[in-house]
């Protein structure tokens, strides 16, 4: 198995340069080697290479564990959707927090990337002609709820539309991570979850939706969306 690691050198101006080298590590990857990689990437000159560092560590762990190429997506679990009396409150969103928290714990234990997909609207976003003003970038309402706060190795993708793919960095990130399967959680089942599953299907991803980890404004909308995702986009509903 070939795994990318970083080669580091200094130029005449003492600036660091990074490139990938493929090494045939097989079973002799050990914790000391991964720690060396970690210490190198932590240096301030390598902030732009953080995503590659995370991918390298994940690949090293997966080489030992043989995990599938799965990523966990948490969609719009933000204050403006989850809190009581929020501008776009989804009351059932509070009920799915424990289930999502469990999915996050399982993902981290299995070295599965955790990706938060979050609305981050401009103050004059055209979407506000359809919905109440919500999740404006930089406001408290656009923050992830405290119960599900991301950790340093998690990813955050900002979006301004229903699909987590549309005009975002998600596709690029998933390709860098080597992801082929998505577990989707969050809100709203018949809007952002549904349209993300639709686009994931058309991009060649397989999807799983834990039924107790997604929520809609009404139970009717929730059930309809789950049926659509299963029948039309071949999603696995748990």
Tell me yes or no: is domain 70-237 CATH 3.40.50.1360: no
Is the pLDDT at 5 greater than 90? The verdict is no
Residues 6+ apart with CB under 8 A from 73: 115, 116, 117, 164, 182, 183, 184, 185, 186, 196
Q: Which regions of the chain carry the CATH code 3.40.50.850? A: 70-237
Q: Where are the alpha helices (DSSP H) in 26-164?
A: 31-41, 50-65, 79-82, 97-109
Query: pLDDT tens across 56-115, in order?
Result: 565 555 544 435 599 999 999 999 999 999 999 999 999 999 999 999 999 999 889 999
Q: Write down the pLDDT at residue 83.
A: 92
What's the predicted TM-score (pTM) here?
Answer: 0.72
The Cα 230–Cα 207 span in angstroms is 10
Question: 157 near 169, Cβ under 8 Å?
Answer: yes
CA angle 33, 37, 41 (to 5 degrees): 170
């Amino acid at each position: 198995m070939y795994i990318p690691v970083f080669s580091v050198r200094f130029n005449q101006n003492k600036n660091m340069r990074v490139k990938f080298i493929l090494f045939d590590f097989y079973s002799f990857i050990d914790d000391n080697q991964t720690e060396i990689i970690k210490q190198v990437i932590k240096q301030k000159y390598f902030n732009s290479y953080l995503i590659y560092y995370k991918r390298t560590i994940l690949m090293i762990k997966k080489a030992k564990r043989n995990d599938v190429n799965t990523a966990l997506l948490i969609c719009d679990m933000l204050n403006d959707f989850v809190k009581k009396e929020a501008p776009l409150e989804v009351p059932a969103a509070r009920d799915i927090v424990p289930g999502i928290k469990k999915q996050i714990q399982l993902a981290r234990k299995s070295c599965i990337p955790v990706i938060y997909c979050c609305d981050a609207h401009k103050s004059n976003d055209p979407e506000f002609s359809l919905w109440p003003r919500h999740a404006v970038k930089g406001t408290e309402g656009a923050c992830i709820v405290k119960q599900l706060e991301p950790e340093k190795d998690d990813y955050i993708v900002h979006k301004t539309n229903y699909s987590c793919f549309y005009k975002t960095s998600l596709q690029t990130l998933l390709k860098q991570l080597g992801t082929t399967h998505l577990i989707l959680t969050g809100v709203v089942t018949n809007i952002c979850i549904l349209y993300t599953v639709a686009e994931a299907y058309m991009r060649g991803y397989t999807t799983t939706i834990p039924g107790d980890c997604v929520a809609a404004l009404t139970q009717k909308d929730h059930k309809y969306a789950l049926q659509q995702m299963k029948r039309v986009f071949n999603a696995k509903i748990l």
